[in-house]
Amino acid sequence: MYTPELINKKRNGKELSQAEIEFLVNGFVSGEVPDYQMAAFLMATCFTGMSKDECVTFTMAMANSGEMADLSPIKGFKVDKHSSGGVGDTTSLVLAPLVASAGAVVAKMTGRELGHTGGTVDKLESIPGINLELGKDDFIRIANQVGVSLVAQSASLAPADKKLYALRNVTATVESIPLIAASIMSKKLAGGADGIVLDVKTGSGAFMQKYEDSLELAKTMVDIGEGAGRKMVALISSMEQPLGLAIGNALEVKEAIDTLKGEGPQDLLELVLELGGNMVLLAGVAKSLDQAKDRLKACIANGAGLKKFAQFIKAHGGDPEVVRNISILPRAKAVQELAVPRSGYVHAMNAMELGMASKLLGAGRFIKDDRPDLSVGIELKCKVGDRVDKGQPLAVLHTDGDTERIGQAREKVLGAFSITVEPADPPRLLMARVTSKGVEELA
């Protein structure tokens, strides 16, 4: 096979065979297909797309490029959750222990930050002593003992995705439905869970900004997962503004603890119950979605979710005291309050800009080897739809005291808000639920 011919075929919108796709993916991983040819193929795919068969073959070739985790030593139905990437998206931190406390087994591979979005591994690492870089045996042992274990994605899991993602990141080929679907699903299939609940984000802070594209992405991923014998649900949720009030690593751990105590922000709780309810339902622990959600609410009210979080932290070598005493989390050197510039209603809040502002404060990486400052970030004091008065707090910056960074972040945060005299409605959070049976619009 000649790589230029395959690129040409894709450029002309023709369908590639299984053998041709496997040749490209395997050749890229082994180094026989160089970056420039793969980049050309990826760009052609951005323009002409892929057929369903091609996308499935592409995903399976990526999943099979490394180790396929065998979770059969973990008892019960294993359920995983994955988000397509959001800002201040604290859900996984709350969901993993909460769903486990409701009786489902959560065995989840999880990632670090990507672009303007944060990562669960980084967030959890603000808990003193915790270790998510586990070997397979420890991962399985903890999942069996505690009912929940999270492990940082290892280099041996879907290495084709790792290499492709790095190339897409710098060749403007991230925003493509088949490429995102294959990237996410290759990792999820290799991760080995029996059931997968996806949170597909849509809006200004998401990789897919248009609802129709997010819906297409959700349908594609559900098809791929079901085709591979996994039980799938995808929810489409709005990322027009950050989720909850905290953006930043330790700040989000605190927000997760508040939410497990029943004192968290309303939108975070709503998404947690919807995603978690679907996880519990897939696991067969409840008979209906309403029953599953009621069970999760009970686990918040009676403290079972918080207790499970402490057990999980302890099993991973961290200090479980954090659930009672958040002052053991890293604390920022300096805090600075931003005031509301004029009275009115919060009309919009650009999630991507706020995600970038948090990175500017040091919460993220700009080159691969940067070490994020786990203490810094942004605490929002209002949400879209709120009435605000001039001089009242808009947001609090948690900083390392570096005045240049603070100045840049301030500008970005202020620029992210649009405040109008006319009242504004809060955006709808939950848009749709997609399964193999079809699309259900959520009110």
Residue 183 falls in the annotated catalytic set: yes
| Size of the chain, expressed as the number of residues it contains | 443
Q: What share of the chain is helix, strand, coil (3-state, %, to 5)?
A: 45, 15, 35
Token pair listed for 276:
């978690």
Between β-strands 334-339 and 438-441, what pairing exists: parallel, antiparallel or unpaired? unpaired
The C-alpha atoms of residue 242 and residue 20 are separated, in whole angstroms, by 41
Q: Which residue is nearest to ligand URA (CB)?
A: 183
Closest among 93, 50, 429 to 257, alpha carbons compared = 93
> Does residue 264 interact with Ca ion by CB under 5 A?
no
Decide which of Ca ion, ligand URA, none touches 180; Cβ closer than 5 to 8 Å per partner kind.
ligand URA
Per CB under 6 A, does 278 bind ligand URA?
Answer: no
The single residue of 163, 168, 254, 295 carrying the catalytic annotation is: 168
Per rule CB under 6 A, is residue 85 in the interface with ligand URA?
A: yes
Tokens of 3: 């790589």
Minimum distance of ligand URA from residue 317's CB (angstroms): 27
Instruction: Please report the DSSP string for 262-331 in residue order.
Output: T-S-HHHHHHHHHHHHHHHHHTTSSSSHHHHHHHHHHHHHTSHHHHHHHHHHHHTT--GGGGT-GGGS--
DSSP 8-state symbol, 103: T
Binding segment for ligand URA (CB under 6 A), chosen from 178-186, 296-304, 309-317, 420-428, is 178-186
Contact (CB, 8 A) for 93 and 260: no
- Is 84 among the residues that bind ligand URA (CB under 6 A)? yes
Q: With contacts defined by CB under 5 A, name the span among 2-10, 90-98, 222-230, 302-310 that binds Ca ion.
A: 90-98
Active site residue 149: no
CA-nearest of 141, 139, 138, 157 to 66 is 157
36: Cβ contacts below 8 Å, ≥ 6 apart: none
User: Using the rule CB under 5 A, is 355 a contact of Ca ion?
Assistant: no
Q: With the C-alpha atoms ordered 91, 198, 65, 109, is the resulting torsion angle positive or negative? A: positive
Q: In 10 A of CB 129, how many CB atoms?
A: 14
Contact between 58 and ligand URA by CB under 6 A: the answer reads: no
Compute the least distance from the CB of residue 284 to ligand URA, in Å. 27
Choose among Ca ion, ligand URA, none what residue 185 binds, the Cβ cut-off being 5 to 8 Å by kind: none
Residue 88: which of ligand URA, Ca ion, none does it interact with, CB under 5 to 8 A by kind? Ca ion
Determine if 244 is a binding residue for Ca ion (CB under 5 A): yes
88 lines the binding site for Ca ion (CB under 5 A): yes
Burial (CB < 10 A; 0-12, 13-18, 19+), residue 9, is: middle
82 is catalytic: yes
117-125, 183-191, 241-249, 277-285 -> range binding Ca ion (CB under 5 A): 241-249
Query: How crowded is the C-beta side of 118, counted as CA atoms within 13 Å?
Result: 38
168 as an active site residue: the answer is: yes
Structure tokens at 58: 């592409």
> Restricting to residues 111-150, which ones interact with ligand URA according to CB under 6 A?
114
Catalytic residue from among 80, 122, 161, 258 = 161
What's the one-letter identity of residue 368? K
112 near 121, Cβ under 8 Å?
A: yes
Q: Among 118-126, 237-245, 351-359, 365-373, which window interacts with Ca ion (CB under 5 A)?
A: 237-245
244 binds, among Ca ion, ligand URA, none (CB under 5 to 8 A by kind): Ca ion
Is-contact 349 242, C-beta < 8 A? Answer: yes
Q: Among ligand URA, Ca ion, none, what does residue 85 contact (CB within 5–8 Å per kind)?
A: ligand URA
80 contacts 282 by C-beta, under 8 angstroms: no
- In the shown chain, the binding pattern of residues 205 to 224 toward ligand URA, with x for contact by CB under 6 A and - for none, equals --x-----------------
Q: Which residues partner with 67 through β-bridges? A: none
Examine residue 239 and tell whether it contacts Ca ion (CB under 5 A): no
3-class secondary-structure state, position 136: helix
Out of 84, 149, 183, 237, the active site residue is 183
Tell me if 85 contacts Ca ion by CB under 5 A. no
86 lies in the site for Ca ion, by CB under 5 A: no
Is 138 a known active-site residue?
A: no
Kindly provide the residue ranges of all beta strands, DSSP E only, lying in 162-258, ordered along the sequence.
Answer: 195-202, 231-238, 246-247
Stretch that binds ligand URA, among 65-73, 92-100, 180-188, 320-328 (CB under 6 A): 180-188
Task: Determine which residue in the list 62, 63, 184, 281 makes contact with ligand URA, applying CB under 6 A.
Answer: 184
Q: Which does 90 bind (CB under 5 to 8 A by kind): Ca ion, ligand URA, none?
A: Ca ion
Q: How far is the CB of 121 from Ca ion (least distance, A)?
A: 16
Query: Which of Ca ion, ligand URA, none lies near 94, with the C-beta cut-off 5 to 8 A by kind?
Result: none
* Binding residues vs ligand URA (CB under 6 A): 84-85, 114, 174, 180, 183-184, 207
The residues annotated as belonging to the active site are 82, 161, 168, 183, 187
Residue ranges that bind Ca ion, judged by CB under 5 A: 88, 90, 243-244, 246
